[in-house]
Amino acid sequence: MADLTCSQHAHGGNVYAAARELGRSVDKLIDFSASINPLGPAPGALRAVRRARVLEHYPDPDCWALRQALASRWRCDMDQIIVGNGSTELIHLLPTALRMRHLLVIGPTFSEYAAAMERSGGRVTAVLADRADGYAPPLVRAIEAIGANAPKRKASLPIDSVLLCNPNSPTGQACDVKEVAALARAAQRRNVRLILDETFVDYCVERSVLPVMDDVGQAIVLRSFTKFFGLPGLRIGYLVTDADTAQRIRARQIPWSVNALAQEAALAALADERHARRSRSFMVRERARFLRLLDRLPGCVPFPSQANFVLMELPRGWHARAVTAALRRQGIVIRDCSTVPGLNQRSIRMAVRARRDNDRLVRILAELLGSR
């Protein structure tokens, strides 16, 4: 296991900084660093925002209508659901609300878990996937770490929580429900809390544990309306857990953290099944085509993905930082993953966007990498 700090990570999606740096407007950039549904928000969500007459009132602090719809979808009680200002707000609520002191992260993965623990004064260690295994999440080693969970000396802190992002970002790898259930059982035996981030699972719904929550005990499942539902600017996400845990987390949440337009849009997006089917169908086809194109780039190694992005290793002799900067100068923003613990200096991540954008990125990458 390795200790982690949030200073080792970075976010994607900051197109505003790139626009200021380049002296361009945001709409002149192509953002591959944030993995947002390339088909955009559901038409129903856009209509709901346009028609909403909610600005003259405070938002519903209980997010009642949205929680009711989510409870109906997942066949659980409303008291088991918390809606937040994106899943990021909820991630940052967990350490203090649940008095987490030592989090085991299954990586390489998203930065915010370590950031939240560092902010609360907790410790983060990680079990990191191996490149030789295609970065498959190392659940067996995580179970072994939980099984050996006992302080070796009085001053040490035993693991009290374990985090799995499924499908994982930035690797795109996913675990099936049986594997997650085995992890949940191991965690439960050692009184370790399991946190599952399913932000990208709408692209592979068969991997979600929400339909079978009984199999994972008192796990906390995080979801987002940012990626699949295409609502990053409205900031809305939710979690599902047992009612007692939900109440402890809710007690730490600030009032009105979720704005009224976000609630209206999320409720409508959830009901737009036609857009959901189109989004999944498009992603299956375009991701496969994008991977084939990337695989033809000499020396590049794209890894299979079950999300709406692709992790790729650049040819030897290239650094992700240099390629990211070169693409940025041409108005294309990708994710430099060279500082993510468990990856190497040649690692980049690219969202799967519309066909024309994907073709342009591959063409420019081919020119850039062939320039030596």
pLDDT above 60 for 155:
no
Kindly state the average pLDDT of the residues 148-163. Answer: 75
Q: In this structure, what are the phi and psi dihedrals at residue 301, rounded to the nearest 5 degrees?
A: -125, 95
47 half-sphere exposure, CB direction, 13 A CA radius: 7
Q: How far apart are CA 224 and CA 232, in angstroms?
A: 9
pLDDT band at 7 (very low <50, low <70, confident <90, very high): very low
Share of the chain above pLDDT 70, in %: 95
Read off the DSSP letter of residue 315: P
pLDDT in tens, 128-137: 999 999 999 9
Model pTM score? 0.94
CATH of domain 43-272: 3.40.640.10
pLDDT in tens, 232-247: 999 999 999 999 999 9
Q: How far apart are CA 85 and CA 219, in angstroms?
A: 21
Share of the chain above pLDDT 90, in %: 87
pLDDT band at 259 (very low <50, low <70, confident <90, very high): very high
Indicate the residue type of 141: R
Q: Tell me the fold of 2-40+274-369.
A: Aspartate Aminotransferase, domain 1 (3.90.1150)
Indicate the residue type of 66: L
Query: Which residues contact residue 342 at a Cβ distance below 8 angstroms, ignoring those fewer than 6 apart?
Result: 107, 108, 126, 128, 129, 135
Yes or no: say if 312 and 9 are a contact pair by the CB < 8 Å rule. no
Q: How far apart are CA 57 and CA 69, in angstroms?
A: 22
| Residues comprising the chain, all counted | 372
Q: In this structure, what are the phi and psi dihedrals at residue 340, rounded to the nearest 5 degrees?
A: -75, 120
pLDDT band at 8 (very low <50, low <70, confident <90, very high): very low
Per-position b or e across 187-200, b if 16+ CB within 10 A of its CB: bbebebbbbbbbbb
Read off the DSSP letter of residue 344: -
Res 275: pLDDT: 98
Q: Are strands 123-128 and 102-107 parallel, antiparallel or unpaired?
A: parallel
Domain spans in the chain, listed from the N-terminal domain onward: 2-40+274-369, 43-272
